């Protein structure tokens, strides 16, 4: 999966943690919650303690695509706060939302590690955000678009992102490539595994990724929807964003595995809230990842 967030010299904004309550009705697929309850996500981007290609590339894209600090960023599906912490350190005002209580707890711990560059975190769902309309300079959707398996659910998440973004603000969204499992299977030699092969077959058929054992075999990921590049761009455009561009986060390159580069994601990006014609989104990165939509400066549609 990929996502991008920018950096820049920070101004040291510190935001108090807490003050948000869990949104009523935050319900996610039990397979997703049980997978993340294992704590697997906290170290995913740093296998063996080294930054993954996904993380390095995502940070590079964030640096390139985000507005400068102290922009206000909403990290929806921000997990344990890996990106939120770095962005806060760069001077962004960051609030993270995630439906998994363990992730919110870990994000708050991460925020507390560097009180001079804190950020806030709260439980919540991409489909119903608590934030005010037009209150954000950028929204990161690095998770919801692939974990929401129904098109209507993804439309809801994109509509919410649209609502909270101010005109001219930017959306960065991540998706997982349709061929991620196939590449994983080829590289890992899993295609003969009777537990893995049906997962790949279904992914290739319709993108509906289901792991019957998301706790015992976390490497097979959990309930998700894997996009094609055009499918991702189309959904973002249908939500009203303009200037959509799709970036490969890792591509097959994650398997080249220079020492320490060991993830399985890919990411892309973004759409703008304007009418201008932007670069056509080009897709994908492989692996288990997603892409972010980018919102370009412009008038609101
Ligand atoms: C693979 S993790 C990615 C975490 C982080 N954004 C990153 O890119 O490293 C996917 C995240 O999406 C979150 N998620 C799943 N369904 C969601 C939903 N409906 N709304 C918001 N977040 C969701 C999960 O709890 C998880 O933290």
Instruction: Write a three-state SS string for 195-220.
Output: CCHHHHHHHHHHCEECCCCCCCCHHH
Ligand 1 centroid to residue 166 C-alpha, Å: 23
Does the structure show a pLDDT above 90 at 39? yes
Closest ligand 1 atom, residue 32 Cα? 15
In which band, very low, low, confident or very high, does the pLDDT at 177 lie, cut at 50, 70 and 90? very high
Determine if ligand 1 sits within 6 Å of the CB of residue 77. Answer: yes
Determine if ligand 1 sits within 6 Å of the CB of residue 207. Answer: no
Determine if ligand 1 sits within 6 Å of the CB of residue 125. Answer: yes
pLDDT score recorded for residue 138: 98
Closest ligand 1 atom, residue 153 Cα? 19
Backbone angles phi, psi at 186, to 5 degrees: -65, -45
C-alpha pair distances (Å), 18 with each of 35, 70, 115: 25, 20, 13
Does the structure show a pLDDT above 60 at 118? yes
Q: In the predicted model, what is the mean pLDDT of residues 100-107?
A: 98
Determine if ligand 1 sits within 6 Å of the CB of residue 218. Answer: no
Determine if ligand 1 sits within 6 Å of the CB of residue 142. Answer: yes
- Domain 30-180+222-272 -> CATH class: alpha beta
Can you tell me whether residue 149 is helix, strand or coil? Answer: coil
Lowest mean pLDDT, pick from 1-10, 76-85, 104-113: 1-10
Distance of CA 139 to the CA centre of its chain: 10
Determine if ligand 1 sits within 6 Å of the CB of residue 1. Answer: yes
Determine if ligand 1 sits within 6 Å of the CB of residue 28. Answer: yes
Nearest to residue 183, comparing CAs of 114, 263, 84?
263
Residue of 147, 176, 269 to mutate, ligand 1, most atoms within 8 A of C-beta = 147
Lowest mean pLDDT, pick from 38-47, 78-87, 163-172, 244-253: 244-253
Ligand 1 centroid to residue 148 C-alpha, Å: 10
Q: In the predicted model, what is the mean pLDDT of residues 193-208?
A: 97
Residue of 31, 61, 79 to mutate, ligand 1, most atoms within 8 A of C-beta = 79
Ligand 1 centroid to residue 110 C-alpha, Å: 16
Reported as a single tens digit per residue, the pLDDT across 206-263 is: 999 999 999 999 999 999 999 999 999 999 999 999 999 999 998 776 666 555 444 4
Ligand 1 centroid to residue 250 C-alpha, Å: 19
Higher pLDDT, 279 or 70: 70
Q: What is the DSSP letter of 132?
A: P
Can you tell me whether residue 140 is helix, strand or coil? Answer: strand
Are the C-beta atoms of 83 and 96 separated by less than 8 Å? Answer: no
Nearest to residue 239, comparing CAs of 133, 127, 160, 144?
160
């Amino acid at each position: 999966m990929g996502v991008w967030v920018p950096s820049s010299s920070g101004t040291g904004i510190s935001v108090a943690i807490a003050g948000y309550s869990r949104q009523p009705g935050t319900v996610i697929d039990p397979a997703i919650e049980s997978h993340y309850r294992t704590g697997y996500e906290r170290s995913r981007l740093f296998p063996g303690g080294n930054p993954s290609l996904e993380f390095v590339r995502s940070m590079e894209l964030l640096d390139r695509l985000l507005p400068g600090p102290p922009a206000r960023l909403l990290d929806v599906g921000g997990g344990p706060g890996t990106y939120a912490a770095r962005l806060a350190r760069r001077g962004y005002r960051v609030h993270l939302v995630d439906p998994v209580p363990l992730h919110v707890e870990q994000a708050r711990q991460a925020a507390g590690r560097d009180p001079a560059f804190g950020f806030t975190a709260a439980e919540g769902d991409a489909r119903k955000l608590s934030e005010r309309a037009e209150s954000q300079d950028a929204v990161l959707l690095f998770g919801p678009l692939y974990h929401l398996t129904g098109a209507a659910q993804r439309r809801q998440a994109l509509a919410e992102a649209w609502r909270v973004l101010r005109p001219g603000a930017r959306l960065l969204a991540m998706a997982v490539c349709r061929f991620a499992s196939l590449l994983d299977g080829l590289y890992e030699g899993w295609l003969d595994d009777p537990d893995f092969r049906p997962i790949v077959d279904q992914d290739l058929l319709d993108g509906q990724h289901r792991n019957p054992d998301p706790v015992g075999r976390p490497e097979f990921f959990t309930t998700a929807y894997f996009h094609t590049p055009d499918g991702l761009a189309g959904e973002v455009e249908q939500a009203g964003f303009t200037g959509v561009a799709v970036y490969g986060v890792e591509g097959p390159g994650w398997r080249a595995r220079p020492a320490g580069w060991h993830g399985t994601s890919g990411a892309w990006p973004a759409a703008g809230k304007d009418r201008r014609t932007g670069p056509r989104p080009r897709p994908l990165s492989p692996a288990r990842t997603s892409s972010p939509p980018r919102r370009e400066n412009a008038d609101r549609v």
